[in-house]
Amino acid sequence: MHKPNKLWVRVLPHKYLSNSSVLQVQAKPQDSPVSKGLLNARDRLHTGFVFRLSIGETSLWHDDWSGMGNIAPTIPYVDIHDVERKLCDLVVNNAWNLQVLYTRLPVNVLHRLQKIKPSTVPNRHDVWTWETNTMGIYTVRDAYRTQFKSIPIVLGARWRSSPSCPHCSAHEEDVLHCLRNCRHSQELWLKFGAFTWPNFTVGDHSSWIRSQARSSNGIKFIMGLWGVLKWRHNMIFEDSPWSLEEAWRWVCHEHDEIVAVLGEGAGSMDCWLGSRWQPPLAGSIKLNVDGSYQAVDECSEAGGLARDSQGN
């Protein structure tokens, strides 16, 4: 993306960015699932990117240095003296010098500008870069840290005044209580049949997680952990938290997707949680249906799919 003359860099922005930037473009309904997934990841990682000033060739008005798109359309009036301003024009002795501007910048723009380190460097272009790594190189490890810096994780009671579990109020909410022993977590594990797995109820949290993740039920276990944690967050942060059935369906869906992806390279894997579609007898047609209803706006929808024994 930083080499605008490359063919693929010219093609992809033209197709996907429609005169916007990677940080600004919004997903469109017709976008592919991959494209939507990338933008979803972009939104989650947005706070990890910073604009790095180098030679300062970036236009104050017409380039996206703020992460909000170019600011020209948001400024009511630009003084004629400032029309050609670049960011390097506003830097004096490694500090922002806004006295040179004849145009008044809105507070939110000033706020964005202050986030940029005002030191210019020769022979390098201004660029958006990854903040948490000194080399500006994105790594999954940094992304993980960025995520967990911004999202409170409900493990332990460090961020609350009470040490008791917010769901059952009966115990201290240590890691093992949160992930396995709380009665809500147990409800989900019971759905998995996890309490019949070898050594599922023994060990401290570290050895429990290691041994179960490496067992033959490893994928189910890992997805179960993710589901338990997600459900607990959901109960705290959402106005209408999932029911047990909704949590279970979410876990099944995620699990089956993981298994489908892994199964492509590793042959068939016999660990589906969700039941697979079974074809009808030859000469018959099977009709699968589903429907939903929203009480808020009294909308309902239903759909169905008819297939023969060959799946046609």
Residues that bind Zn ion (CB under 5 A): 165, 167-168, 182
Spatial neighbors of 126 by CB under 8 A, at least 6 apart, are: 51, 52, 53, 54, 55, 56, 57, 58, 63, 65, 87
Least Cβ distance, residue 161 to Zn ion (angstroms): 17
Least Cβ distance, residue 235 to Zn ion (angstroms): 10
Least Cβ distance, residue 153 to Zn ion (angstroms): 16
CB-based contact 255:287 (threshold 8 Å): no
Burial of 71 (0-12, 13-18, 19+ CB in 10 A): buried
CB-based contact 94:68 (threshold 8 Å): no
Residue 165 or 259 with smaller CB distance to Zn ion: 165
Least Cβ distance, residue 285 to Zn ion (angstroms): 48
3-state secondary structure of 161: coil
CB-based contact 307:279 (threshold 8 Å): yes
Residue 71 or 165 with smaller CB distance to Zn ion: 165
Nearest alpha-carbon partner for 182 in 236, 220, 253, 144: 236
Q: In this structure, what DSSP letter does residue 216 have?
A: T
Residue 173 or 256 with smaller CB distance to Zn ion: 173
Residue 20 or 186 with smaller CB distance to Zn ion: 186
Residue 180 or 220 with smaller CB distance to Zn ion: 180
Least Cβ distance, residue 162 to Zn ion (angstroms): 12
Residue 66 or 185 with smaller CB distance to Zn ion: 185
Least Cβ distance, residue 152 to Zn ion (angstroms): 17
Structure tokens at 82: 């400032």
* Backbone phi, psi, residue 85, to 5°: -65, 135
Least Cβ distance, residue 220 to Zn ion (angstroms): 22
Residue 182 or 223 with smaller CB distance to Zn ion: 182
3-state secondary structure of 302: strand
CA 70 – CA 61 distance, rounded (Å): 6
Nearest alpha-carbon partner for 154 in 60, 78, 228: 228
